[in-house]
C-alpha cells in the first residue's frame, strides 16, 4: 500500500473521507458508495475515528476491510486524547500488520473532562512525535484554515501547526468555503518555513441545515453569497444539492488553479455529490 507522503511528491491526490458505519444498513450504504466512487480512481480513502475511542472497533474494521478488499490506499484517522501509549501502540500494530501505512494523527475532542485528564497524549503533536519514532507510517495532521475553533489567536494556531507539521508529511484541512482562507493559511505557513503539502478539504452542501450545523461545529464561516444562493432554493432539496455541487465544484477549481496539492472530499458516506463535483465540474485532466 502506498505511503501518502510519497504519493504527494509525485502527483496531486484525490481522496475521500468516510465515517465507520454503526448499522448493517450503514455498512451496505458505505459499500455501495465505495463501489460508485471507485470509478473516480481516488489516490486514497480515509476513515474517521470517534474521539476517545468511541468508534475504535468500527474504524479498525472499516480500515482493514478497505485494505483487504479494495485496490486503494487507505488512511486511518486516530485521535489521541484519553489514550495510553499501550492503546495507541496496539492499534498501530494491527494497522502495520495488515499493510495500512498511513495515519492521520489527531488530538480529537474529549467527550468529557475525565477523558481529557486521562491518557498520555494531550495534543496531536504528541501523537505525531510518537508516530515518527515508531517509523512505520506516513503521517498526516489536521489543519484549520480559519484557525482551530478553540484557538484565540490565528497566528499562534499557525505557529503550532507549522511545528506539528515538522514531524508530519502532510496536512488535510477542515472544510471551508472561501479559497482565500486556504491560500492565506498556506502563505502564513510558508512564511514560517513550512512547505509541507496542505490538502484542502471540501464538503459539498447537500442539505442547508446540516451544513450550517457542521460549519458551526468546525468553526467554518459560510460566506453570505453562499447562504443567499442556498436560501433561494431551500424548499427544493434537489435544487439545494445542485447549487451545493456547483459551489463545491467552483471551490475545487479555484483551489487547483491556485496550486493546491490535491482535493479531499468529505463524502458523508454518500456518492452522489462527490460524483457530481468530479463528473460535472472537475475533470481528472485538471488534476
Among 20, 42, 108, 200, binds ligand FAD (CB under 6 A): 108
Residue 267 as a binder of ligand FAD (CB under 6 A): the answer is no
Residue 157 as a binder of ligand FAD (CB under 6 A): the answer is yes
Q: Which stretch binds ligand FAD (CB under 6 A): 24-32, 85-93, 104-112, 202-210?
A: 104-112
Among 15, 125, 269, 274, binds ligand FAD (CB under 6 A): 125
Answer yes or no: 246 catalytic: no
Residue with C-alpha cell 479531499? 264
Residue with C-alpha cell 475532542? 109
Q: Which stretch binds ligand FAD (CB under 6 A): 23-31, 145-153, 224-232, 243-251?
A: 145-153
**Residue 277 half-sphere exposure, CB side, CA atoms within 13 Å?**
27
Q: Which stretch binds ligand FAD (CB under 6 A): 5-13, 31-39, 86-94, 117-125?
A: 117-125
Residue with C-alpha cell 481528472? 284
Residue 49 as a binder of ligand FAD (CB under 6 A): the answer is yes
Query: What is the closest distance, in whole angstroms, from the C-beta atom of residue 124 to ligand FAD in the complex?
Result: 3
How far is it between the farthest Cα atoms of the chain?
53
> What size, in residues, is the chain?
287
First to last CA, the chain: 22
Query: What is the closest distance, in whole angstroms, from the C-beta atom of residue 132 to ligand FAD in the complex?
Result: 15
Quick one: 34 or 165, whose CB is closer to ligand FAD? Answer: 165
| E strands, 89-188, in order | 102-106, 138-143, 170-175
DSSP-assigned letters across all residues of 27-56: HHHHHHHHHHHGGG--SEEEE---GGGTTH
As a whole number of angstroms, the distance between CA 31 and CA 269 comes to 9
Residue with C-alpha cell 446540516? 210
Among 201, 249, 261, 262, binds ligand FAD (CB under 6 A): 201
Q: Which stretch binds ligand FAD (CB under 6 A): 22-30, 95-103, 142-150, 177-185?
A: 142-150
Catalytic residue among 17, 36, 57, 246: 17
| Helix H or strand E encompassing 113 | helix 113-117
* Residue 193 exposed, middle or buried by CB count within 10 Å (0-12, 13-18, 19+): exposed
Residue 61 as a binder of ligand FAD (CB under 6 A): the answer is no
Residues that bind ligand FAD (CB under 6 A): 48-49, 51, 77, 79, 106-109, 123-125, 142, 148, 150-151, 157, 160, 164, 172-174, 201
Amino acid at each position: 500500500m502506498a505511503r501518502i507522503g510519497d504519493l504527494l511528491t509525485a502527483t496531486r491526490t484525490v481522496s475521500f473521507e468516510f465515517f465507520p458505519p454503526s448499522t448493517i444498513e450503514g455498512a451496505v450504504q458505505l459499500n455501495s458508495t465505495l463501489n460508485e466512487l471507485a470509478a473516480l480512481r481516488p489516490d486514497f480513502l480515509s476513515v474517521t475515528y470517534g474521539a476517545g475511542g468511541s468508534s475504535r472497533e468500527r474504524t479498525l474494521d472499516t480500515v482493514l476491510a478497505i485494505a483487504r478488499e479494495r485496490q486503494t490506499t487507505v488512511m486511518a484517522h486516530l485521535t489521541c486524547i484519553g489514550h495510553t501509549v499501550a492503546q495507541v501502540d496496539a492499534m498501530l500494530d494491527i494497522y502495520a500488520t495488515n499493510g495500512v501505512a498511513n495515519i492521520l494523527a489527531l488530538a480529537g475532542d474529549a467527550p468529557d473532562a475525565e477523558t481529557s485528564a486521562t491518557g498520555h497524549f494531550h495534543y496531536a503533536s504528541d501523537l505525531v512525535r510518537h508516530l515518527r519514532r515508531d517509523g512505520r507510517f506516513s503521517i498526516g495532521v489536521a489543519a484549520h484554515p480559519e484557525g482551530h475553533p478553540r484557538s484565540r489567536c490565528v497566528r499562534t494556531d499557525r505557529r503550532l501547526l507549522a511545528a506539528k507539521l515538522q514531524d508530519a508529511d502532510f496536512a488535510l484541512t477542515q472544510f471551508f468555503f472561501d479559497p482565500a482562507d486556504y491560500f492565506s493559511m498556506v502563505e502564513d505557513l510558508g512564511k514560517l518555513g513550512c512547505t509541507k503539502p496542505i490538502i484542502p478539504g471540501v464538503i459539498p452542501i447537500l442539505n442547508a441545515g446540516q451544513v450550517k450545523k457542521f460549519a458551526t461545529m468546525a468553526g467554518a464561516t459560510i460566506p453570505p453569497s453562499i447562504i443567499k444562493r442556498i436560501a433561494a432554493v431551500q424548499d427544493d432539496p434537489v435544487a439545494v444539492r445542485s447549487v451545493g455541487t456547483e459551489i463545491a465544484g467552483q471551490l475545487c477549481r479555484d483551489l487547483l488553479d491556485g496550486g493546491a496539492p490535491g482535493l479531499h472530499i468529505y463524502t458523508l458516506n454518500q456518492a452522489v455529490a462527490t460524483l457530481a463535483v468530479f463528473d460535472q465540474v472537475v475533470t481528472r485532466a485538471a488534476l
